[in-house]
């Protein structure tokens, strides 16, 4: 990947003449069977620029309560797009078509206008859970009946594809706008893509400029993303298999609880309530022995497997953690 970056042919993407960026956009459009795609610096910008492009101020957006757009994007929907967020509770990150149907408001002059459904697949805060495609299709039917638009936060859609074998194009077809990340599981250092119709992407280019996300010799970043597409999609199943090994091992550690139903891709959530320690205490003890994870709520840790973590690393991590006296 470093070599691909060094050798990338570049132009100026603000003028839309960087050949490597153009190649990346064409490659992504073909892979997902969408009319068009553009490169943006981050998943957060991908979601927020897509929502701003789709929406009008005062619209209401339906989101799952733990979704990234609500919890980790610094109130972006309110600040950038003047959207009212209506959060729906779920057990595994999957809003049902029935929940969506029940959340759509009757049009009248008093109420916000329910206009967008945002879905996260896979769902980060629920542990990398996969959204069943048949539920998405049922939600699309509800959306069509009520004139709603649909946005996919597909930062981790590659993992859903790898775990199920369902083609990327099928995963995104029901949506009006999509963001996917080239960093995270695919291992590129920077960048996400917004996908959609030609008309939508034309407008999104303007939003990207407004957000300061139009960049110049971006080919060096696009080259990394192209390398990731070629070399790192096929290996995601290894991360999933490693995550299961790690999850099963962590589930045997005293005071740790792992809900194996959530371990569907490369994320493992561990409930540490049984240790009577704080996440910081446990994470510091682990860090001293070379094992890194992040706090994920008052009694939870998040572990992630990725291309820099081997099966042996996972087994070693379980051994190290089991030996710590919490």
Ligand X SMILES: Cc1ncc(COP(=O)(O)O)c(C=O)c1O
Which of 10, 43, 227, 266 binds ligand X (CB under 6 A)? It is 43
Give residues 141-170 in contact with ligand X (rule: CB under 6 A): 153, 155-156
- Rule CB under 6 A: is residue 129 a binding residue for ligand X? no
Residue 75 CB, nearest approach to ligand X (Å): 14
Stretch that binds ligand X, among 40-48, 108-116, 254-262, 291-299 (CB under 6 A): 40-48
Which of 120, 128, 194, 291 binds ligand X (CB under 6 A)? It is 120
Residues whose CB is less than 8 angstroms from the CB of residue 76 and which lie 6 or more positions away in sequence, other chains included: 44, 47, 48, 51, 69
Q: Toward ligand X, which CB reaches closer, 43 or 174?
A: 43
Residue 325 CB, nearest approach to ligand X (Å): 32
- Three-state DSSP state, 111: coil
- Rule CB under 6 A: is residue 124 a binding residue for ligand X? yes
The binding track of 66-105 with respect to ligand X, each residue x by CB under 6 A or -, is --x-------------------------------------
Residue 319 CB, nearest approach to ligand X (Å): 28
Q: Toward ligand X, which CB reaches closer, 43 or 249?
A: 43
Give the closest residue to 122 by CA, choosing from 155, 166, 151: 155
Q: Toward ligand X, which CB reaches closer, 25 or 153?
A: 153
Residue 224 CB, nearest approach to ligand X (Å): 14
Give the closest residue to 291 by CA, choosing from 250, 257, 263: 250
Residue 283 CB, nearest approach to ligand X (Å): 18
- Rule CB under 6 A: is residue 64 a binding residue for ligand X? no
Beta carbons of 304 and 236 less than 8 angstroms apart: no
Residue nearest to ligand X (CB): 43
C-alpha span between 111 and 56 (Å, rounded):
15
| E-strand stretches of the chain | 36-40, 59-64, 84-88, 113-120, 149-154, 177-181, 192-196, 267-271, 294-295, 300-304
Give the closest residue to 320 by CA, choosing from 303, 307, 298, 297: 303
Beta carbons of 51 and 204 less than 8 angstroms apart: no
Q: Toward ligand X, which CB reaches closer, 18 or 64?
A: 64
The number of residues that bind ligand X (CB under 6 A) is 13
Give residues 187-226 in contact with ligand X (rule: CB under 6 A): 192
Distances (CA, A) of 174 to 94, 157, 310, 315: 16, 14, 35, 39
C-alpha span between 86 and 146 (Å, rounded):
16
Tally of CA atoms within 13 A in the half-sphere of 144 that contains its CB? 8
Q: Which chain residues interact with ligand X by CB under 6 A?
A: 42-44, 47, 68, 120, 124, 153, 155-156, 181, 183, 192
């Amino acid at each position: 990947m470093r070599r691909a970056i060094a050798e990338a042919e570049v132009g100026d993407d603000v003028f839309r003449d960087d050949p490597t960026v153009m190649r990346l956009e064409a490659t992504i459009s073909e892979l997902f069977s969408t009319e068009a795609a553009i490169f943006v610096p981050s998943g957060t910008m991908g979601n927020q620029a897509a929502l701003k492009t789709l929406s009008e101020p005062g619209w209401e957006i339906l989101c799952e309560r733990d979704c990234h757009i609500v919890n980790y994007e610094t109130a972006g929907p309110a600040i950038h797009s003047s959207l009212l967020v209506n959060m729906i509770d779920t057990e595994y990150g999957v809003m049902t078509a029935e929940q969506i149907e029940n959340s759509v408001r009757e049009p009248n002059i008093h109420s916000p206008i329910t206009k967008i459904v945002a879905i996260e697949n896979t769902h980060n805060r629920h542990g990398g859970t996969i959204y069943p495609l048949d539920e998405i299709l049922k939600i699309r039917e509800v959306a069509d009946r009520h004139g709603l638009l649909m946005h996919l936060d597909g930062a981790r859609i590659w993992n859903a594809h790898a775990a199920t074998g369902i083609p990327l194009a099928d995963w995104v077809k029901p949506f009006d706008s999509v963001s996917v990340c080239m960093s995270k599981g695919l291992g590129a250092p920077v960048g996400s893509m917004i996908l959609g119709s030609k008309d939508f992407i034309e407008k999104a280019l303007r939003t990207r400029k407004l957000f300061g996300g139009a960049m110049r010799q971006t080919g060096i970043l696009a080259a990394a993303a192209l390398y990731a597409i070629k070399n790192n999609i096929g290996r995601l199943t290894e991360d999933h298999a490693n995550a299961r090994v790690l999850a099963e091992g962590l589930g045997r550690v005293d005071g740790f609880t792992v809900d194996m139903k959530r371990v569907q891709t490369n994320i493992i959530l561990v409930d540490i309530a049984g240790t009577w320690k704080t996440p910081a205490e446990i994470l510091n003890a682990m860090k001293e022995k070379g094992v890194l994870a992040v706090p994920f709520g008052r009694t939870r840790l998040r572990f992630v497997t990725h291309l820099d973590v081997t099966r042996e690393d996972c087994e070693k991590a379980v051994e190290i953690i089991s030996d710590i006296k919490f």
